[in-house]
């Protein structure tokens, strides 16, 4: 029986690449888009990719995805934004802070908690994080994005401590690397294929409880 995953935010970039990679490995993939993605629908045509519409900031959009409880081996909440171009805490408006924190931290955590019943005991709940969310590695800069990912990491660890333990569901914060996507830019060091191949390996090897903060190679990152 094939394994199954829900990838939230699969319209392009890493999410789309990972959907294609896992399908090629025999997984059944539920993939979400916020707005219609022709690339995602093309990838889904004739494959084990089922497309859903959802927005990480709107709980009503994922209240009923039509996925049976306990049917998923994994969920990856990949949706996120870079935030204001200036990325400077000194310039940030209240609206800019609220928008990135809701989209990158609180929205994903709320969604993860809401969708936990869909995951099998011993499965995996993963979040796309970033090395920029590591407080230990911080050298300043990217204030808005880095702070939102640090907050997401903290919320993810809290879910592992409070919500998933009795069911041995492992919670992961995953750094995909610096990837050549619309968000990462053309100067990034990794192709989408290189990143998603590693992420797929990490997801396939996950499960069994606890919390881990890992990069796409499976290396542990400092919190």
- Helix, strand, coil shares, percent, the chain, to 5: 40, 20, 40
Structural domain contains residue 142: yes
Confidence at residue 189, expressed as pLDDT on a 0 to 100 scale: 74
Structural domain contains residue 29: yes
Confidence at residue 165, expressed as pLDDT on a 0 to 100 scale: 86
Confidence at residue 115, expressed as pLDDT on a 0 to 100 scale: 98
SS3 letters across 88-142? CCCCCCHHHHHHHHHHHHHHHHHHHHHHHHHEEEEEEEEEECCHHHCCCCCCCCC
Confidence at residue 221, expressed as pLDDT on a 0 to 100 scale: 97
Structural domain contains residue 128: yes
Confidence at residue 185, expressed as pLDDT on a 0 to 100 scale: 63
Q: What is the CATH number of the domain that holds 193?
A: 3.40.50.720
Confidence at residue 183, expressed as pLDDT on a 0 to 100 scale: 65
In order along the chain (223 residues), what is the average pLDDT of each group of 10 residues?
95 96 97 96 97 98 97 96 96 98 98 98 97 92 95 98 94 90 69 93 94 97 96
Cβ neighbours, 10 Å, residue 211: 19
Query: In terms of DSSP bridges, do strands 49-53 and 72-77 run parallel, antiparallel, or are they unpaired?
Result: unpaired
Structural domain contains residue 220: no
Confidence at residue 184, expressed as pLDDT on a 0 to 100 scale: 64
Query: In terms of DSSP bridges, do strands 119-128 and 170-175 run parallel, antiparallel, or are they unpaired?
Result: parallel
Structural domain contains residue 136: yes
Confidence at residue 150, expressed as pLDDT on a 0 to 100 scale: 98
Structural domain contains residue 223: no
Confidence at residue 207, expressed as pLDDT on a 0 to 100 scale: 87
Structural domain contains residue 222: no
Could you give the number of structural domains in the chain?
A: 1
Give the structural domain span for 76.
Answer: 4-215
């Amino acid at each position: 029986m094939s394994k199954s995953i829900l990838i939230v935010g699969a319209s392009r970039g890493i999410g789309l690449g990972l959907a294609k990679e896992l399908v090629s490995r025999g997984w059944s993939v539920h993939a979400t888009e916020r707005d219609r993605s022709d690339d995602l629908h093309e990838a889904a045509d004739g494959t084990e990719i089922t497309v859903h519409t959802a927005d990480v900031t709107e709980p009503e959009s994922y209240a009923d995805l039509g996925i049976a409880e306990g049917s998923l081996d994994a969920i990856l909440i990949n949706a996120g934004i870079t935030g204001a171009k200036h990325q400077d805490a000194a310039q940030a408006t209240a609206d800019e802070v609220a928008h990135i924190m809701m989209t990158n931290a609180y929205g994903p955590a709320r969604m993860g908690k809401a969708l936990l019943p869909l995951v099998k005991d011993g499965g995996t709940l993963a979040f796309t994080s970033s090395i920029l969310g590591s407080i230990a590695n911080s050298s300043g800069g990217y204030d808005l994005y880095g702070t939102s990912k640090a907050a997401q990491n903290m919320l993810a660890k809290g879910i592992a401590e409070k919500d998933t333990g009795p069911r041995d569901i492992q919670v992961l914060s995953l750094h995909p690397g610096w990837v050549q996507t619309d968000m990462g830019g053309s100067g990034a060091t990794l192709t989408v294929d290189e990143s998603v191949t590693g992420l797929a390996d990490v997801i396939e090897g996950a499960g069994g409880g606890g919390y881990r903060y890992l990069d796409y190679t499976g290396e542990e990152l400092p919190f």
